Structures are given as structure tokens and as C-alpha cells.
């Protein structure tokens, strides 16, 4: 397995849900002087999204090179095309990722922003009000969506910038004359805010060189875990390798805890629940988060390894979509994230083996059918990689 490229000397700030993320994002956009890259799966049209849209347009108006990538499916096809046109008419360079499936089935599910090569933001939050369901239904959530991102300054920003730039280049021709002018304008070194100097790595998944990098990062963390692993995802349907890694860790005495989002998609819930019996029997703990929509894709292992990003534990994220996570090796950061996750666990409902055993027979049948349907579809779209 290839090792992650950790770089030291970074300031990593945890951002909890939209209440912290969107003010920080808009503040960085407002302070930009040369360049902004922003990539997102969903760019909605609600009040929060319009505020981000306005900030990007204002940045372009004052001469900042603004480049935005939105997913054609995630941002709802025609709405994505319309937003792209609006942005381009206002001086913001905007491109849709894979419209009409011209590049196969892959979507960009990444949530990345890089400003002036000085600050990067990576996480799970789309550009959508976190009190509105992100499935297009328009349902108002009982509490803000539960999600996380990180704000990064330091040497790792250069890695995130290169990745954002590479994605832009894949979608069209890069203006190298503007690029060189920009490089002269920017400082050579990233600045650190000094809050938290730590080692971190950017890990991405695509369908070329990085097909299994995110899964391998998780497998390595689980394989070396000694005490505790808290894994959080709204969509749980990993392949056999991932499930075996969790079971193996639990069999070694590691306290493996899954915090799962439920209630958004009935088929997804049924697929996830088809794994409950074997995992619980092996000693893996499962907690369902029902307070509001859980959208976080995060984990903490042994109090010194943590990740925040866009990748779910399902076939689409692990084998199809473009994803981006930050992996952090730092006890203080892991402790801060662990504190948030412990609250999530306290707000959830733990599922016991007895709960699964006493379910009606037809629910077990439905879970099995859902898994077979999902597995069949995933094996088609992943060319047999999902199992």
C-alpha cells in the first residue's frame, strides 16, 4: 500500500456545520486578492448559496481570478447549466463536471476551496443551507445538518491547490499566461495562523492513479488501530475489505464504533442494516444518528489519527466518485473532533444484536434484497471492483 504524503507545519481548524463553515468560507472569499478555486457537488439556490455566489461574483469584479467547478448531477442538471451561465456572464469562470455523462459515470463529490494559495478548506459541506435537506425535496430539517470541514494554512495548501488546479485543467484548457502572472503576484510561502501546527495529508480518489487511495487510508488506520476507532458516515455500504478490516480490529479488542446517518433514503438504510448482524456479532458497535440529517464523513482512530472529507463508506464514494479527504496526525485535533463525535454518539441510538434478532422476518428479507440490488448495481458501475 502506498504511504500518504504527510507534511508538517500546518494550522488545521475544525469547522462544525454551516454555522462555522459558511462565515469562514465567505470571509476567505472576501479577502481574496488574486485567485479562488472552488469545487462542490451541490451548489444550491437558497439564501446561503446565494450569499456564497454573491461573494464569488464580487471577488471576480475586483479582479480576482475565480474558478468554480460544480457537479452536473449534484447541482441538478439544468440548474447547474443555468448557474454556470450566470457565473460566466458575471466574470466567474465556471464549469460543470461531466455533463451528460460524457466522461462515464463519475461525479465530483469533492468539497474544496483554495484562496490565494494561502488557505484551503476541505470537508463534507455542499453549498446549501444546512437547515434544508440536500436531496432536492426542500424539506426543512429539525436541526442544522451535522457535518464538518477543516480550514488549512501551511504547506499542505500547496497540495490542495495543485489538486484543484489539476481538476480545472481536466475540464478545459488552462490559461498559462494568467497563471504565470498570478504566480508573480502571490507570496512564495503559505502562512500559518499558529493555532495548531501539525502534520496532515491530502488523500483523493479518482478513476486514474488514485482509484483506491481513500479506502487504503482507512484500511491502514484500522489495521494498525490499538484502542478505539470512531467511524462516521451517512451512507454505509462498504465492500468486503472494509468490513473485514472493521471486524479484524474489533477481534483484536479495538472499540470500533460506527455512527451512521439514517432516514434519508429507504434503500440506503436497508442496505446498511443488512450488515448489522455480522458486524454486531463481531463486536462492532453501531449507533444511528436520528436527531437531524447526518452528512459528516469523518473518523478518529486511537486519538492521534483523524480524517475529515467528502468520502462516504459506500460503493459510489470508494469506487466511482471523485473524493477528497484530509488526514491529520495530531492528538489535539483528534481530541477536538472526538469531543464532537462523542456528542453525536450521545445524541444517537445504539443498535444492539438483540434489536436485530427480534426484527420481523420480512425486514430481514427486505434488507437482503436491498443488499443484492445494491451489490448488483455497484458491480456494474465499478466494473466488478465492489464486493
CA distance 281 to 351: 12
Selection from 98-107, 167-176, 225-234 with the highest mean pLDDT: 225-234
Is-contact 144 17, C-beta < 8 A? yes
* Averaged pLDDT for residues 191-214: 79
User: What pLDDT score was predicted for residue 135?
Assistant: 86
Q: Is 195 helix (H, G, I), strand (E, B) or coil?
A: coil
User: What pLDDT score was predicted for residue 208?
Assistant: 83
- pLDDT, tens digit, 9 for 90 and up, residues 167-187: 999 888 544 544 454 444 444
pLDDT band at 188 (very low <50, low <70, confident <90, very high): very low
User: What pLDDT score was predicted for residue 181?
Assistant: 44
* Averaged pLDDT for residues 35-55: 97
Cell triple for residue 291? 436527531
More confident site: 105 or 16: 16
User: What pLDDT score was predicted for residue 191?
Assistant: 45
> Nearest to residue 104, comparing CAs of 348, 382, 338?
382
Out of 187-201, 293-307, 345-359, least confident range:
187-201
Mean pLDDT for the chain overall = 92
Residue 163 backbone phi and psi in degrees, to 5:
-65, -45
User: What pLDDT score was predicted for residue 177?
Assistant: 47
- pLDDT, tens digit, 9 for 90 and up, residues 329-363: 999 999 999 999 999 999 999 999 999 999 999 99
Is-contact 19 143, C-beta < 8 A? no
Q: Is the pLDDT reported for residue 306 higher than 70?
A: yes
pLDDT band at 207 (very low <50, low <70, confident <90, very high): confident
CA distance 126 to 43: 7
Residue 386 backbone phi and psi in degrees, to 5:
-80, 140
Cell triple for residue 331? 492528538
Phi-psi region of 194 (alpha: psi -120 to 50; beta: other; left: phi over 0): left
Other Cβ atoms closer than 10 A to 92: 24
Other Cβ atoms closer than 10 A to 264: 17
Task: Classify residue 2 by its DSSP letter.
Answer: P
User: What pLDDT score was predicted for residue 138?
Assistant: 86
pLDDT band at 196 (very low <50, low <70, confident <90, very high): low
CA distance 351 to 174: 51
User: What pLDDT score was predicted for residue 104?
Assistant: 86
CA distance 211 to 318: 8
Q: What single string gives the DSSP state of each residue in 296-319?
A: --EEEETTTEEEEES--BSHHHHH
Catalytic site positions: 109, 111, 116, 295, 297, 302
CA distance 109 to 41: 5
Amino acid at each position: 500500500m502506498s504511504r500518504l504524503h504527510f507534511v508538517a507545519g500546518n494550522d488545521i481548524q475544525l469547522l462544525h456545520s454551516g454555522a462555522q463553515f459558511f462565515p469562514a468560507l465567505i470571509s476567505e472569499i472576501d479577502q481574496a486578492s488574486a485567485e479562488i478555486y472552488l469545487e462542490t457537488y451541490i451548489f444550491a439556490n437558497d439564501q446561503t448559496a446565494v450569499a456564497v455566489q454573491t461573494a464569488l461574483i464580487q471577488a471576480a469584479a475586483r479582479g480576482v481570478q475565480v474558478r468554480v467547478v460544480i457537479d452536473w448531477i449534484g447541482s441538478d442538471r439544468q440548474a447547474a447549466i443555468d448557474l454556470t451561465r450566470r457565473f460566466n456572464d458575471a466574470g466567474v469562470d465556471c464549469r460543470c463536471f461531466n455533463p451528460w455523462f460524457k466522461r462515464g459515470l463519475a461525479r465530483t463529490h469533492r468539497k474544496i476551496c483554495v484562496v490565494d494559495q494561502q488557505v484551503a478548506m476541505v470537508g463534507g459541506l455542499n453549498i446549501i443551507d444546512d437547515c434544508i435537506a440536500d436531496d432536492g425535496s426542500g424539506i426543512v430539517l429539525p436541526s442544522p445538518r451535522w457535518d464538518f470541514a477543516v480550514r488549512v494554512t501551511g504547506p499542505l495548501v500547496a497540495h490542495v491547490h495543485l489538486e484543484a488546479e489539476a481538476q480545472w485543467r481536466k475540464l478545459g484548457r488552462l490559461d498559462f499566461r494568467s497563471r504565470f502572472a498570478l504566480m508573480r503576484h502571490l507570496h512564495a510561502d503559505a502562512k500559518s495562523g499558529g493555532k495548531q501546527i501539525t502534520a496532515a495529508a491530502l488523500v483523493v480518489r479518482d478513476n486514474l492513479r488514485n482509484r483506491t487511495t481513500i479506502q487504503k487510508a482507512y484500511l491502514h488506520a484500522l489495521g494498525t488501530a490499538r484502542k478505539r476507532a470512531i467511524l462516521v458516515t451517512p451512507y454505509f455500504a462498504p465492500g468486503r475489505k472494509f468490513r473485514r478490516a472493521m471486524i479484524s480490529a474489533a477481534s483484536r479488542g479495538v472499540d470500533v464504533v460506527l455512527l451512521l446517518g439514517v432516514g434519508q433514503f429507504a434503500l440506503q438504510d436497508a442496505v446498511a442494516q443488512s450488515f448489522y448482524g455480522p458486524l454486531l456479532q463481531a463486536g462492532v458497535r453501531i449507533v444511528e444518528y436520528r436527531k437531524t440529517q447526518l452528512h459528516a464523513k469523518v473518523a478518529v482512530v486511537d486519538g492521534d489519527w483523524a480524517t475529515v472529507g467528502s468520502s462516504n463508506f459506500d460503493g459510489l464514494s470508494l469506487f466511482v466518485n471523485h473524493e477528497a479527504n484530509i488526514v491529520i496526525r495530531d492528538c489535539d485535533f483528534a481530541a477536538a473532533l472526538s469531543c464532537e463525535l462523542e456528542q453525536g454518539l450521545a445524541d444517537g441510538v445504539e443498535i444492539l444484536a438483540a434489536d436485530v434478532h427480534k426484527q420481523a422476518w420480512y425486514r430481514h428479507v427486505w434488507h437482503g434484497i436491498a443488499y443484492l440490488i445494491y451489490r448488483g448495481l455497484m458491480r456494474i458501475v465499478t466494473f466488478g471492483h465492489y464486493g
